C-alpha cells in the first residue's frame, strides 16, 4: 500500500511592517470636520435660521482660516520630522529610557480623558506608537508631555493634572529629558522648533474644536432634532439626527 505523500507545510506569509505616519490622524479629522461645519454654516439654505439664533457670522470664516493655517503647519512639521529610522544602540537605549517614564503618564491620561474629553489623549501621543519611533520623535513627545504637567510661563498652573502623576513622576520625566534630550534646548535646534510647532498645532486644534462646537450649538438651536425635515441639515453640521448634541 502506497504511503501518501505528506502535504508540505506552507511557508508563513511574512508580516507586513506597519509604516507609522507622523501625521496625527485626530488632528486631520478635526480640520476636516471643522471645515464641513463651516461650509454648512455658509450654505444659503441655513444662514437665515442661524442668524435668527444670533450665530456670530464671523465664525465660519475664522474656522476656515484657522483650519488652513493649521493644515499648513502640520505639513511643515511632518517634513521637518522626517528623520532616519535606523538607530544606534545608544539611541535605542535613550529612547527606551524616555518611554519608560512616558508610558505610565500615558496610562494616567487614558484614565483621565474619556468620553467627551477623549480627544485630549492626542496631546499625550496615545495611539502614536511612540515605542517604535526614532529617538528624535520620542524626545519631542517627552518635552511636549512634560510641558502639560508643569507650569510654563506665563501660566502659573499646569494644563493637566493626571491621576497618580505627582511630583516624583514629573521629576523623573524632567530628569530623563535632561539626560537624553537636553540638546533640544539649544538655540535654533530643529528639535526645539519641532516642539514649539507641535504645541502650536495642538493649541490651534483645540481652538478649532471650540469654534466648531459653537457653530454646532447654534445649529442645534436652529434645527432641533425633533423638528420634521431637518435630518439632512443636521447631518451637514455633523449633528446626531435622533438626539441632541451632547455637551
Q: Give the model's pLDDT for residue 81.
A: 52
Q: Give the model's pLDDT for residue 73.
A: 84
Asked whether residue 241 is assigned to any structural domain, the reply reads no
Asked whether residue 226 is assigned to any structural domain, the reply reads yes
Among candidate residues 22, 28, 26, the one with its CA nearest the CA of residue 138: 22
Q: Give the model's pLDDT for residue 188.
A: 38
Asked whether residue 247 is assigned to any structural domain, the reply reads no
Question: How many structural domains compose the chain?
Answer: 1
Q: Give the model's pLDDT for residue 247.
A: 67
Whole-angstrom distance, CA of residue 203 vs CA of residue 113: 17
CA atoms within 13 A on the CB side of 219: 33
Q: Which domain holds residue 206?
A: 25-236
Query: In the chain, which stretches have pLDDT less than 50?
Result: 13-22, 82-84, 184-189
**29-49 core/surface letters (b: 16 or more CB in 10 A; e: else):** ebbebbbbbbebbeeeebeeb
Q: Give the model's pLDDT for residue 8.
A: 52
Q: Give the model's pLDDT for residue 78.
A: 63
The model carries a pTM of: 0.53
* Rg (the chain; Cα; Å): 23
Asked whether residue 154 is assigned to any structural domain, the reply reads yes
Q: Give the model's pLDDT for residue 182.
A: 55
Asked whether residue 100 is assigned to any structural domain, the reply reads yes
Extract the C-alpha cell encoding 44.
444659503
Q: Give the model's pLDDT for residue 89.
A: 82
Asked whether residue 164 is assigned to any structural domain, the reply reads yes
Q: Give the model's pLDDT for residue 235.
A: 97
Amino acid at each position: 500500500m502506497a504511503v501518501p505523500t505528506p502535504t508540505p507545510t506552507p511557508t508563513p506569509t511574512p508580516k507586513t511592517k506597519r509604516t507609522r505616519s507622523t501625521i496625527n490622524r485626530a488632528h486631520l479629522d478635526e480640520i476636516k470636520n471643522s471645515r464641513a461645519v463651516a461650509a454648512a454654516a455658509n450654505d444659503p439654505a441655513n444662514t437665515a435660521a442661524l442668524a435668527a439664533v444670533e450665530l456670530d457670522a464671523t465664525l465660519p470664516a475664522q474656522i476656515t482660516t484657522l483650519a488652513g493655517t493649521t493644515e499648513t503647519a502640520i505639513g511643515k512639521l511632518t517634513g521637518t520630522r522626517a528623520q532616519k529610522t535606523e538607530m544606534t544602540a545608544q539611541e535605542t537605549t535613550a529612547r527606551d529610557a524616555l518611554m519608560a517614564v512616558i508610558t505610565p503618564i500615558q496610562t494616567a491620561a487614558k484614565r483621565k480623558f474619556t468620553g467627551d474629553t477623549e480627544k485630549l489623549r492626542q496631546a499625550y501621543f496615545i495611539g502614536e506608537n511612540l515605542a517604535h519611533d526614532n529617538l528624535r520623535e520620542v524626545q519631542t513627545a517627552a518635552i511636549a508631555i512634560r510641558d502639560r504637567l508643569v507650569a510654563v510661563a506665563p501660566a502659573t498652573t499646569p494644563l493637566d493634572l493626571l491621576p497618580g502623576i505627582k511630583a516624583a513622576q514629573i521629576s523623573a520625566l524632567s530628569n530623563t529629558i535632561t539626560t537624553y534630550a537636553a540638546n533640544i534646548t539649544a538655540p535654533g535646534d530643529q528639535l526645539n522648533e519641532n516642539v514649539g510647532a507641535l504645541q502650536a498645532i495642538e493649541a490651534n486644534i483645540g481652538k478649532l474644536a471650540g469654534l466648531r462646537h459653537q457653530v454646532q450649538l447654534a445649529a442645534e438651536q436652529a434645527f432641533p432634532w425633533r423638528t420634521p425635515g431637518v435630518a439632512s441639515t443636521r447631518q451637514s453640521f455633523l449633528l446626531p439626527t435622533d438626539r441632541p448634541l451632547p455637551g
